[in-house]
A and B are shown apart, each in its own frame.
Chain A
Amino acid sequence: MNVLGIAAYYHDAAAALVYDGQIVAAAQEERFTRKKHDSNFPIHAVRYCLHEGRLAPHELDAVIFYEKPFLKFERILETYFAFAPKGYTSFAKGIPVWIKDKLFQKRMIIDNLSTLDGTISWKDKLLFSEHHLSHAASAFYPSPFTSAAILTADGVGEWATTSLAVGQGRDICIIKEIHFPHSLGLLYSAFTYYTGFKVNSGEYKVMGLAPYGEPKYVHRIKDHLIDIKNDGSFRLNIEYFDYATGLRMTNERFHHLFGGPPRQPESPLTQREMDLAASIQAVTEEVMLKLARSIRQETGERHLCLAGGVALNCVTNGKLLRTGIFDDLWIQPAAGDAGGAVGAALAAYHLWAQRPRAVNGADSMHGAYLGPAYSQQEIEERLTACGARYETLSDEALLDACARRLAEGLALGWHQGRMEFGPRALGNRSILGDPRSPTMQKILNLKVKYRESFRPFAPAVLREDVADWFELDHDSPYMLLVADVRKDHRMAMTDEQQKLFGIDKLNVPRSSIPAVTHVDYSARIQTVHRETNPRFYALLSRFKQLTGCPVLVNTSFNIRGEPIVESPEDAFRCFMGTELDALAIGNCFLEKRDQNSDLKQKYTTAFEPD
């Protein structure tokens, strides 16, 4: 049975193909259209999924959309009613969009599918899943557990913002839901907005900013904004927020509570924003830990699966693992809305078609390497057409050349095999660097990625070496767990260095791998496994042979505001537009000094900052 899952029309449109319960392909539309968070119908991603599955459109047995538009409309109408006459401006702007377009989403989906094959009766194949069911299914069905508790939390879907469920075999049972406007995701987004970052994309920047601050505002948040019960359920005091009826996240009352207006985007960060970030991070962790404890008690399940945007908060995930509330944890790597395409497709297969679920001990996300790959011949043809100057090396020679350049402190673009699904680059569309270099963080942030200098980088480490370098001995293949660098690799800071502020503190080497060590000694770890990514594993092993260090800096292959590169052409453009030193695409090896300088691009202004 072939099922196509689709997520679209809000943000991060994506498509996923499931064949007999196995995830065959999944990709986000932004990677093809080069428009970050593209929400349009994912026609390119759908075409790719069909191509990967070698399917003609008529061979699809079902197509499933990841949420129910009418339920969402019901929530929007009821919300306006509950708050009327407040919210008129938002109502006047929002409702016409619904009446004109969004209520007709089924028609829009059918019209788009008809461009693939107009002779098919798509309406007979089209299904709709609920938003949080899609998230829950994306967390549970691909997990390695036969039964588990499921916790999903995000901004909002139809009504649910948080759901607790149990998965057993092919069944999912919802135990509890928290409904809009009470939302942990929206609370976090309110602080994202207030600290001057973009909602729906800047949340991970707030998480990265938190270690610079002190959680000074926790009491103020808990006294005024959120009432957290012992079981982790919560209610927000909506009087401080504008999102239910307005066009902003927070209102004057909120600004008064925290002593001023929101920070202007791109203006300098102050200690206040850092303290606010630390505070909302602490509150989020408290809620998630309490929810986890309560669902553990209520269900008796020993394993926990997580999805929804809040599950991308890897600092919280790391704490959840360390507290030992559950024996084990599995987090959907595409925990945001894009992953809803995978979840919806699996829900159609297991819940609608009632097909059994097979669990074989490993997760079924295939390392999240579910996107397009290019053959060596295709890569060479495409690079030649771009005017690139490259050498084609054997596998061994390529790994050696790349490992040596990395050990020399150069920044390497690494484009190999199938593209990752989800927000993280996991070693197939990555920029790599030497974590031992005290200047690597600065170089990558300012000269390659053109992004805010306070943001730390993540380490990719051989699975068998992770416990020697970090306080973690657990798989973290999707870069979704944060743990500290081991004490024996840390360097003590002097009293003078301790007093440094913000980025100055980040520039002080705090460990033998400073480029991936945050100011609080934490690191967002990716464990690299031979089974899921043998090529990246081989590169890390070669780097370890040369340097004794089994760790590399791994950041996504893009600049700020750009979707992660998909094709060899995207990779070459990014290579020529940044100060990357070398690039490996398949077995093609490119060095910047060999390239035609006329092909250099003005790249920094090509994308709107995220």
Chain B
Amino acid sequence: MAVLTSQSVSQHNFEGGVVSLLIELWQFLKYRKKFWMLPIILVLLVLGGLLILAQGSVVAPFIYTLF
């Protein structure tokens, strides 16, 4: 039986930028012990960054072929 405490309601620390998002993701993976997800998330973030730069237009088909 898991007794819910104040930790069940939690506060994330990052402020919203990509760097702070990465810090928060790292803390999350550490807490969840799911380090295997790290490379996937990093690749996805790089691709996501390209997507944002491309605004979903020219680079989009290129990105899809990378998968």
Contacts and interface: CB of A to CB of B under 8 A. Distances in A.
Nearest to B28: A70
B52 A100 contact: yes
Interface of B: 1-6, 8-12, 14-17, 21, 24-25, 28, 32, 34, 37, 40-41, 44-45, 47-49, 51-52, 56, 64, 67
A351 B64 contact: no
A549 B54 CA distance: 66
Sorted nearest first, the 9 A-B pairs with minimum C-beta distance are A99-B48, A107-B16, A352-B9, A174-B2, A352-B6, A70-B28, A173-B3, A129-B9, A172-B4
B10 A88 contact: no
A524 B49 CA distance: 51
Contacts of B21: 103-104
A127 interface: yes
B67 A96 contact: no
Contacts of B10: 68, 127-128
Contact of B9 (A64, A81, A92, A100): A64
A74 B37 contact: yes
Nearest to A347: B9
Interface in A120-149: 123, 126-130, 133
Given A106-B14, A129-B8, A92 B64 contact: yes
Nearest to B46: A99
Contacts of B44: 95, 98-99
Interface in A71-105: 74, 77-78, 81, 88, 91-92, 95-96, 98-100, 103-104
Contacts of B32: 74
A519 B49 CA distance: 57
B39 to A, nearest CB: 11
Interface of A: 64, 68, 70, 74, 77-78, 81, 88, 91-92, 95-96, 98-100, 103-104, 106-107, 110-111, 123, 126-130, 133, 166, 171-175, 344, 347-348, 351-354
B3 A171 contact: yes
Contact of A351 (B2, B5, B51, B67): B5
- Main DSSP-derived SS at the A contact region: helix
A431 B25 CA distance: 49
B8 A133 contact: yes
Contacts of B49: 99
Contacts of A123: 15-16
A101 to B, nearest CB: 10
Given A103-B21, A107-B16, A123-B15, A92 B67 contact: yes
A42 B14 CA distance: 22
A348 B64 contact: no
A99 B45 contact: yes
A92 B49 CA distance: 15
Nearest to A108: B16
A130 B8 contact: yes
7 contacts: A81-B40, A127-B11, A128-B11, A129-B8, A174-B1, A351-B4, A351-B8
Given A70-B28, A96-B48, A174 B4 contact: yes
A175 B67 contact: no
Nearest to B48: A99
A92 B8 CA distance: 32
Nearest to A353: B6
B3 A347 contact: no
Contacts of B37: 74, 77-78
B8 A100 contact: no
